[in-house]
Amino acid sequence: AALLPRPVRGLTDRLYCGRRVCYEVLGVSRQASKAEIARAYRQLARQYHPDRYRGEPAGGEGGGAQGAHEKFLLIAAAYETLKDEETRKDYDYMLDHPEEYYRHYYHYYSRRLAPKVDVTIVILVTVCAISVFQFFSWWSSYNEAINYLASVPKYRIQATEIARQQGLLNKTKEKGKNRRSKEEIREEEEEIIKDIIKNKIDIKGGYQKPKIYDILLFQILLAPFYWCKYIVWYCWWIYCFTIKGQEYGVEEKLYIIRRYMKMSQSQFDSLEDHQKETFLERQLWIRENYEVYKREQEEELKKKMAMDPRWKRYRRWMKNEGPGRLTFIDD
């Protein structure tokens, strides 16, 4: 207890004007206005500025240029403390409650180390940057999916037949002055096939066509609307199926199945239609039926892994040469 005040006094010495009172440094009262404080600071700054000081030599009482420099720094610290209303309140509180050392220490350094830029602006810029990156990343994935589908013979043949029926491929083979090279015709036909694939094939999941409302910025802006929509939908669900006891429709059954499978909406939409029909035929919206289906899928997966040559090689390696086994290799 006797040693505790010593470091505390050391902390106080480094706060604001140290052992000096900032009001006394500027020669103003505690009731002085901001204009009076600024006026006093300008007068003292002109007097003690190192470049303009023409006072006593180093041997005098004032300490010469070095003393004037230290005095100028003290004046600047006093002005920085008193010109801001919040900092001035903290300083006045310290003068009135000098015993609360650690509180003064915390407020002093929390204000000095606080970021100068508004946090809201930083968050907004970050969200915008993430949204832009997200949008262009989705476009890149979508274009990769289109390029892949254009190389698959099944979809390419279908797109080519549609293009021929619509007469799009015939337009590329023009004669006369408008005749183009084979390379240009091939590139134009490729673009036509890709456009038909974009319009005719519904790509779902992670490679679907990006929508601007799916990026992070719009999701944050529309979050209150989504929350209200979800609350209304949830109340409707409770009223229709819990209170009134109505039977589930197709959409409701698929929703329950998707929730049991712990899949997102995009993942569930990427499934084939015949898979969803199988779910409905087996009545997987009933918990007991879903548990049976889940066990069947796990058993089927185990059988496939047991018959998979790669899995057999892995198990054989784990048994004979896997981790925890020391062997000598004969050259």
User: Percentage of residues in the chain with pLDDT exceeding 70?
Assistant: 79
- Mind listing the pLDDT tens digit for each residue in 250-279? 999 999 999 998 888 877 877 888 888 999
Cα–Cα distance for residue pair 230/255, rounded to 1 Å: 14
Give the list of residues 6+ apart from residue 197 with CB closer than 8 angstroms, or none.
Answer: 146, 149, 150, 155, 159
Cα–Cα distance for residue pair 50/64, rounded to 1 Å: 10
Coil vs helix vs strand at 308: coil
Coil vs helix vs strand at 171: helix
| Residue 235 confidence (pLDDT) | 94
Cα–Cα distance for residue pair 189/180, rounded to 1 Å: 13
102, pLDDT greater than 90: no
Secondary structure letter of residue 248 according to DSSP: P
More confident residue, 325 or 274: 274
Average pLDDT over residues 85-105: 85
Q: How confident is the model at residue 154 (pLDDT cuts 50, 70, 90)?
A: confident
| Residue 96 confidence (pLDDT) | 86
Cα–Cα distance for residue pair 169/159, rounded to 1 Å: 11
Q: How confident is the model at residue 126 (pLDDT cuts 50, 70, 90)?
A: very high
Say if residue 19 is exposed, middle or buried (CB neighbours under 10 Å; 0-12, 13-18, 19+). Answer: exposed
What distances in angstroms separate CA 289 from CA 225, 271, 277, 285, 318, one per listed residue?
35, 20, 15, 8, 37
CA dihedral 169, 175, 178, 181 (to 10 degrees): 70
| Residue 5 confidence (pLDDT) | 40
100-109, 175-184, 247-256, 278-287: least confidently modelled range:
175-184
Which range, 43-57, 81-95, 182-196, has the best average confidence (pLDDT)? Answer: 81-95
| Torsion angles phi and psi, residue 244, rounded to 5 | -80, -20
Whole-model pTM: value is: 0.48
The first and second tokens of residue 164, run together, are 């021929």
Contact 264, 200 (CB under 8 A): no
Say if residue 154 is exposed, middle or buried (CB neighbours under 10 Å; 0-12, 13-18, 19+). Answer: exposed
6, pLDDT greater than 90: no
Coil vs helix vs strand at 3: coil
Q: How confident is the model at residue 232 (pLDDT cuts 50, 70, 90)?
A: very high
Domain annotation for the chain: domains and CATH numbers: 22-113 (1.10.287.110), 119-171+181-210 (no CATH), 247-320 (no CATH)
Contact 69, 52 (CB under 8 A): no
Contact 131, 215 (CB under 8 A): yes
Sign of dihedral through CA atoms 219, 224, 226, 230?
positive
Contact 121, 111 (CB under 8 A): no
| Residue 59 confidence (pLDDT) | 40
Cα–Cα distance for residue pair 9/99, rounded to 1 Å: 10
